[in-house]
């Protein structure tokens, strides 16, 4: 079990240190800002929305390792997804954070340990909630 925990820890550290899709993608046409006043995490999500799916996504911001890693992992998991697919993925991710029961969420499972630190759950959810905000006006 500690090997799996170590692997998850390495994934979080890697995505924090070398975030994927950091920055603004060219031609973004949706954006939203999120802020967690409890810890000061800030995230700005940029989405290229084309043909009813995410064809590009990036983020900028500052915050803890959990927030940054979650944003990085989210951008990878969101590529080529529809809004409904993103909502479903977020619901499953949120369920994993609250219940601790992991399912096949790929690298997102690396954040399952956040459940042990309830104050950090919002750090992991912030990028997802911000992504969904970017679609609030167009795709409810």
Indicate which CATH number applies to the domain containing 108. 3.90.1010.10
In a domain, 126, yes or no: yes
What is the arithmetic mean of pLDDT over 108-134? Answer: 93
Range of the domain at 107: 2-133
In a domain, 50, yes or no: yes
Residues 6+ positions from 56 with CB-CB distance below 8 Å: 25, 26, 27, 28, 47, 48, 79
In a domain, 27, yes or no: yes
Q: Is the pLDDT of residue 3 over 80?
A: no
Listing DSSP states for 62-88 in one string gives E--HHHHHHHHHHHHHHTT--HHHHHH
> What pLDDT does 45 receive?
98
Q: Which two tokens stand for residue 17?
A: 């240190």
In a domain, 99, yes or no: yes
Nearest to 74 by CA among 26, 134, 4: 134
pLDDT of 42-78, one tens digit each? Answer: 999 999 999 999 999 999 999 999 999 999 999 999 9
7 vs 100, more confident: 100
> What pLDDT does 48 receive?
97
Residues 6+ positions from 25 with CB-CB distance below 8 Å: 46, 47, 48, 56, 57, 58
pLDDT of 21-38, one tens digit each? Answer: 999 999 999 999 999 998
pTM comes to: 0.91
Q: Confidence class of residue 6 from pLDDT cuts 50, 70 and 90?
A: low
In a domain, 10, yes or no: yes
Residue environment code for 112-138, b if the CB has 16+ CB neighbours within 10 A, otherwise e:
bbbbeeeebbbbbbbbbbbbbebbeee
What is the arithmetic mean of pLDDT over 90-111? Answer: 89
In a domain, 138, yes or no: no
In a domain, 140, yes or no: no
> What pLDDT does 5 receive?
59
What's the mean pLDDT when you consider all of the chain?
91
- Count of CB atoms situated within 10 Å of the CB of 46: 23
Domain count within the chain: 1
In a domain, 139, yes or no: no
């Amino acid at each position: 079990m500690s090997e799996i925990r170590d692997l998850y820890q390495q994934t979080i550290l890697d995505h924090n240190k070398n975030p994927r899709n950091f920055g603004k993608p060219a031609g973004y046409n949706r954006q939203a800002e999120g802020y967690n006043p409890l810890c000061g995490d800030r995230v700005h999500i940029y989405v290229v929305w084309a043909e009813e799916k995410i064809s590009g996504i990036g983020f900028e911001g500052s915050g803890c390792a959990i927030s940054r890693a979650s944003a990085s992992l989210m951008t990878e998991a969101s590529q080529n997804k529809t809004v409904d697919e993103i909502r479903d993925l977020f619901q499953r991710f949120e369920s994993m954070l609250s219940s601790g029961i992991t399912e096949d969420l790929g690298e997102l499972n690396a954040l399952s340990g956040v459940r042990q630190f309830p104050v950090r759950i919002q750090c992991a959810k912030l990028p997802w909630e911000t992504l969904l905000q970017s679609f609030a006006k167009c795709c409810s």
